[in-house]
């Protein structure tokens, strides 16, 4: 019954962010998770299902390809000879504090952390919204996601792809390290050791705990919600993560950036992911995953309202509170200009 009623909107959401074959897999996995967690499904399932689909998509971007997974399994099983194994290990970027590691990674991370801790806060408070523009390039296909997120995690979003607009109103997610609301981030420890310990105990997904921590730092900092002390601690946590390197570069918009890259050539051969930070403020400017995905962020700051047309169109997409098949758990109307 759940699949028949909600498969179309779930597939539609996944399709906008991937090709058709991937969208089918994402929809199938979403409903498999729903079946396993059927006792957790709320009375209005669609918002919950869309959050699950969003997380599945994010996890797939980080996952090993079948060929990469096979190669790792062959190495682990001893099916690739010593010479081939050596080729996999040559060039491995070690933790910045270890001999043979990246010589500049530790210094670059500390400089970013200092900048983060001294940059004035632009904190989202109850009744306010963080306005973010996310330009995603997936293999040359450009999607612009403009979002407004409230203190408790309600998000209104306007997506544009190939001159086509879609509007969405997402309820708060699970509010964990990979889907944090401003309220959740405000509850996290700001001591580097305490934060590192907490993250390593709570991260999920990825091919190693180190990689999962690296990904979680990006998730925590992406929206610009983290207060300065937390941002500084999260960046210092990167310095404790293995397999990182640093370089000075530019993002896709030509902005100066410090690029921190995680590369694990054994567990994820041929892959890597990077966080690009503003060297003056340590704001997260861009994320890169593998050769084909880039998300570039323009933080428009904290605002007191969501545009009326975005609220109205998002409500129309979900059918409006109380309508037939509606998502009655959709966020309440935002203050309008």
- Helix, strand or coil for residue 162? coil
Tell me if residue 193 falls in helix, strand or coil.
helix
d(CA 136, CA 185): 24
Q: Across all residues in the chain, what is the average pLDDT?
A: 77
Of 11-15, 46-50, 166-170, 210-214, the range with the lowest mean pLDDT is 11-15
Residue range 186-199: mean pLDDT, rounded: 96
Mean pLDDT value of segment 118-147:
89
pLDDT at 258: 96
Q: What confidence score (pLDDT) does residue 62 get?
A: 56
Asked if residue 2 lies in contact with residue 34, where contact means CB atoms within 8 angstroms, the answer is yes
**Residue among 248, 267, 280 nearest 72 (CA):** 267
Burial (Cβ within 10 Å: 0-12, 13-18, ≥19) of residue 195: buried
What whole-number distance in Å separates Cα of residue 311 and Cα of residue 127? Answer: 15
Distance separating alpha carbons of residues 76 and 211, to the nearest angstrom = 19
Going by pLDDT thresholds of 50, 70 and 90, the confidence category of residue 16 is low
Helix axes 45-62, 20-36, angle to 10 degrees: 120
Read off the pLDDT band of 17 (50, 70, 90). low
Q: Which pTM value belongs to this model?
A: 0.71
Which strands make up the sheet holding 244-250, listed edge to edge? 164-170, 155-161, 141-150, 129-138, 293-303, 284-289, 273-277, 256-262, 244-250
Helices 228-239 and 192-202: crossing angle in degrees, nearest 10, is 70
- pLDDT (tens digit per residue) in 37-69: 888 888 888 878 877 887 788 777 655 444 443
Share of the chain residues as helix, strand and coil, in percent rounded to the nearest 5: 40, 20, 40
Bigger pLDDT: 307 or 181? 307
- What pLDDT is stored for residue 214 in this prediction? 93
Identify the pLDDT of residue 3.
Answer: 82
């Amino acid at each position: 019954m759940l699949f028949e009623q909600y498969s179309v909107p779930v597939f539609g959401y996944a399709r906008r962010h991937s090709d058709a074959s991937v969208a089918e897999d994402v929809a199938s996995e979403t409903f498999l998770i729903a079946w396993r967690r059927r006792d957790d499904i709320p009375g209005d399932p669609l918002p919950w299902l869309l959050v699950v689909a969003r997380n599945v998509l994010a996890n797939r971007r980080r996952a090993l390809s079948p060929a990469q997974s096979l190669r790792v399994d062959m190495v682990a099983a001893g099916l690739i000879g010593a010479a081939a194994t050596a080729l996999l290990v040559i060039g491995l970027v070690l933790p910045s504090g270890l001999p043979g590691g990246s010589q500049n990674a530790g210094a670059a991370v500390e400089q970013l952390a200092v900048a983060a801790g001294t940059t004035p806060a632009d904190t989202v408070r109850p009744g306010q919204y963080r306005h973010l523009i996310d330009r995603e390039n997936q293999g040359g296909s450009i999607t612009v996601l403009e979002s407004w997120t409230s203190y408790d995690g309600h998000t209104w979003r306007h997506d544009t792809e190939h001159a086509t607009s879609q509007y969405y109103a997402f309820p708060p997610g699970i509010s964990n390290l990979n889907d944090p609301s401003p309220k959740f981030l405000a509850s996290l420890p700001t001591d580097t050791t305490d934060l590192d310990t907490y993250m390593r105990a709570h991260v999920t997904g990825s091919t190693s705990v180190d990689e999962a921590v690296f990904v979680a730092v990006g998730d925590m900092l992406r929206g610009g919600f983290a207060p300065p002390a937390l941002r500084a601690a999260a960046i210092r946590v990167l310095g404790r993560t293995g397999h990182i390197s640093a370089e000075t570069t530019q993002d896709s918009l030509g902005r100066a950036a410090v690029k921190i890259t995680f590369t694990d050539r054994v567990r994820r051969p041929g892959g890597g992911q990077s966080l690009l930070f503003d060297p003056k403020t340590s704001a997260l400017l861009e994320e890169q995953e593998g050769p084909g995905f880039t998300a570039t962020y323009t933080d428009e700051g904290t605002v007191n309202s969501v545009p009326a047309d975005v609220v109205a169109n998002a409500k129309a997409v979900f059918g409006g509170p109380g309508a037939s098949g509606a998502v009655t758990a959709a966020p309440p109307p935002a203050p309008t200009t």
